[in-house]
Structure 1
C-alpha cells in the first residue's frame, strides 16, 4: 500500500511538473568557492508574469542563466514543461541584459529579429518572404517597424531593447525569460515593453523577468521571487511582496514606497 501511495504521489508530481513552464530544484551556482545561488527550489506558474527581485549581487541573473544552461550549476535540476531545458529550448525565449551585448556588431534591425528564427531557418539559413513578414510583424508589436533597415548600433538604448524583445517574439515561445528588461530605458519604452508582456500573458505565455524597480513590482507583476543568494520567498505579489519579506531580502531599511 505504501509503495502504491508513493508511486501515485510521484505520478502526480510528474504531472504537475509537466504543466509548469519552469521547475527548479536544488539549484546551486558558485563562483570559485563563493555561492552565487544556493539550493534554490522554484516553480514558475503558467500564464503569469513573475518578477525576480533582490539586491545587487543577489544571484538574480545567475539564476536565469543557470536555469537556461548558459552557466553550469554545481548542483540542481531544471525542467521546462516537465522536460530537461536542453531539449526544450525551442519553447524558451531569452532576452539578455542590454549591457552584455556587443552593439558594434554590424547588423540591421531586421537581421537581429530574424536571428530569432534560426532554429526554423535551419543550417542553410534560407530567409523567405514569410520570415521577413513575421519579423516585421514582431517589430510592429514593439513600435520599431520603421527602423527595420537601421544599423542596430545606431539606435538608442530603449530602441535596442525593443528590438531584442522583437527577436524574442519571433521565437513564438511559451516561456519568456528577460534579464533586467527595463534597465536604462526611457518611459515610453518601458510602457511599450510592459504592454507587449501583458499581451503575451493574455495569450497564455509565461514571463519571468529580473526586475530592479521595487516601485513597479505590484503594478507590473502577478508573482514575485525574492532572492538573496538563497530564495527568501516566492508567490503571488499580494502575499509575498510584503515589507517584512522585502526587508529580509535586502537586509536593511525598506524603500519608502513599500513601507505603508
Structure 2
C-alpha cells in the first residue's frame, strides 16, 4: 500500500525531485554522488535533516553510510551534489560543525595526551599558533568532565580503551561548541556504559537546541535513541520521523535479503527503549 508520508527512492536510481534547501535544516544534501572506481558508492542522494533533533543514518554494510557523511563534509570527493548547512554552502559554514570520525580511522599512537586532544577542538578560537589560556584549558577539562574522563586528562591517548577513546573524541567535539554534530559510528566497539554516557550527552545537546546526525548500526536502539531516520543503500531509501521512516517496510526495502523477516519483526517488537 502506498504511504504518502513515506519517501522511498525509486529503484531506477533517479534522484527524487529537488527543492530549495531549507534554511533551517542543519544539513541538506541534494544530488550527492560518490564513486570508487566504476561503481557508485552513493548515487544521486537527497537528504534533509531536521534542526534540534537526533538523526540516524542507517543501512547495511557497504551501503554508503560513512561515505555519504564524509562526502557531505568534503572528506572524500563527490562527483556531484550540493551540501548546505543552515542554508549556507558547507564550505562557508564549517565553523558551525563538529565531526567525530570512526575510531578505527584514527592514529592512536600519536603522542598526545587526552587533554591535548580535547584542546584541539579549541583551535578555531585561538588559531593553530595561539596559546591556550587558563580559561581554554578549564573549558577542555569541563568537556572531559561531561563525558566522565576528567581523571584521565594527562593519560596518553593510545593507553585508553576503545570506549574511553571515543569519549575523548566526543569531548573534543563538545569543546568546539558547534551547532551541528556529525558522528560516524559513535557506538561501534564501545562498552554499554560508554554507549549510555555518549547517548546522554548527545541527547543533552539536542535538548539545548543543537542538531546531531550519526551513522548508526544497531537497529534495536534506533527508536529509543533517535527522532529522525535516514535509510540508505547506495540510493536514498527512506527518510523522516522515526515512527514513519523506520518501519518493517523500509527495512525490507533497505536491507533486502540481508535481514530475515523474523529479525525485522524482532527489531519492531524491541521498541528500542533507551
> Cα–Cα, structure 1 residues 259 and 146, in superposed 2: closer, same or farther, change >3 Å?
closer
Q: Could you give the per-residue CA deviations for residues 125-158 of structure 1, whole angstroms, max 9, x where no partner exists?
A: 2111011011001000000000000000000000
> Where in structure 2 are the equivalents of 1:89-168 lying within 5 Å?
89-168=94-173
Deviations 1:87-136 (A, max 9, x none): 11100000000000010111000000000011111142211101101100
Runs of 4+ in 1 over 4 A off after TM superposition: none
Which residue, out of 228, 249, 257, partners 2:266?
Answer: 257
Gap runs ≥5 in structure 2: 1-18, 270-274
Residue 23 of structure 1 is matched in structure 2 by 28
Query: For structure 1, which runs of at least 5 residues remain unmatched after alignment?
Result: 1-12
Give the match for residue 241 of structure 1.
Answer: 246
2:63 — aligned with what?
Answer: 58
Q: Distance in 1 between matches of 2:128 and 2:146?
A: 28
Q: Using the alignment, how far apart are the partners of 2:220 and 2:76 within structure 1?
A: 30
1:210-221 matches, cutoff 5 A: 210-221=215-226
Following the alignment from structure 2 to structure 1, what is the Cα–Cα distance between the partners of residues 178 and 149?
Answer: 20
Q: CA deviation at 1:168?
A: 0.3
Paired position in structure 2 for 1:40? 45
CA RMSD of aligned residues (A): 1.1
Q: Residue 22 of structure 2 aligns to a residue in which SS?
A: helix
Q: What's the counterpart of residue 72 of structure 1? A: 77
Greater mean deviation of Cα atoms: 119-128 or 222-231: 119-128
2:159 counterpart of 1:185: no
Equivalent position of 1:196 in the other structure: 201
TM score, norm. by length of structure 1 = 0.93
Q: CA deviation at 1:72?
A: 1.1
Deviation, structure 1 residue 259: 5.0
Shift of residue 164 of structure 1? 0.1
Cα distance in structure 1, aligned partners of 2:129 and 2:63? 41
Distance between the aligned counterparts of 2:203 and 2:196, measured in 1? Answer: 11
1:49-92 Cα deviation digits (max 9, x unpaired): 00000000000000000000111110010000111111111000
Give the aligned partner of residue 234 of structure 2.
229
TM-score by length of 2: 0.88
Q: Distance in 1 between matches of 2:58 and 2:129?
A: 41
